[in-house]
Amino acid sequence: MENAEADTAPQAPPATVERKKYLVFAALFTISLAADQVTKIWARSSLKGHPPITVIEGFFDFRYSENPGSAFGLFRNVAGARWLLLGIGLIAMGVVVSLLRKVKPNQLRLAAELGLLAGGALGNIIDRVASGVVTDFVLWKIHQHEWPVFNVADAALVVGVIALLFDMKGDKEPPKKTDIEKPSKKRK
């Protein structure tokens, strides 16, 4: 009797299930974009023109930097790089939206990863449009060896890409075992 009741339990309508992936995407998109923009406002007002702030001696500082290029300073001295990188960012946003539409309703983690990518991409697009440079301020280092200065948008992009790579690796299904073929009987 209990099984019969469980089978007749109301299930969420398909539209509600589909909506969850968009809510998860929107939540991670909003959080990553807001965190990026708020921290960049703080960095421009508190760090610009001031010495770096040491958070953990020898490992982690806040150091203001303006990056006219892309990650690791690529395209830094390229004429028109601002517009090239803006175009690449907009294309990336289009790809993310296209991928989100293809995400199955139960793939909420994938929707979250795409939200991180979109939030990070838009965070840096806003900087490029508003001022032509991206505000960076997070510096990781190990004594004298420094990682390039980055921001929250960059971190969201990296986490999103790495998570997507792990998910893509996990999506590969092991080959299915096929039935052992029986030798066919020859007709005489």
The single residue of 7, 61, 154, 179 carrying the catalytic annotation is: 154
Per-residue confidence (pLDDT) for residue 14, from 0 to 100: 62
Per-residue confidence (pLDDT) for residue 27, from 0 to 100: 97
Provide the terminal-to-terminal Cα distance of the chain, rounded to the nearest Å. 57
7 part of the active site: no
Task: Specify the 3-state DSSP secondary structure of 65.
Answer: strand
d(CA 12, CA 170): 28
Question: How is the chain split into domains, by residue range?
Answer: 17-168
Per-residue confidence (pLDDT) for residue 178, from 0 to 100: 55
Query: Tokens in use for 16?
Result: 């509600």
For 29-38, b/e burial (b = at least 16 CB within 10 A) is bebbbebbbe
136 part of the active site: yes
> What is the DSSP pairing of strand 60-67 with strand 134-142?
antiparallel
Per-residue confidence (pLDDT) for residue 179, from 0 to 100: 47
- Which residue type is seen at 170? G
pLDDT tens for the chain, residues 1 to 188? 455 555 555 555 666 777 999 999 999 999 999 999 999 999 999 999 999 999 999 899 999 999 887 665 666 667 777 788 788 888 989 999 999 999 999 999 999 999 999 999 999 999 988 988 899 999 999 878 998 899 999 999 999 999 999 988 765 555 555 545 555 555 55
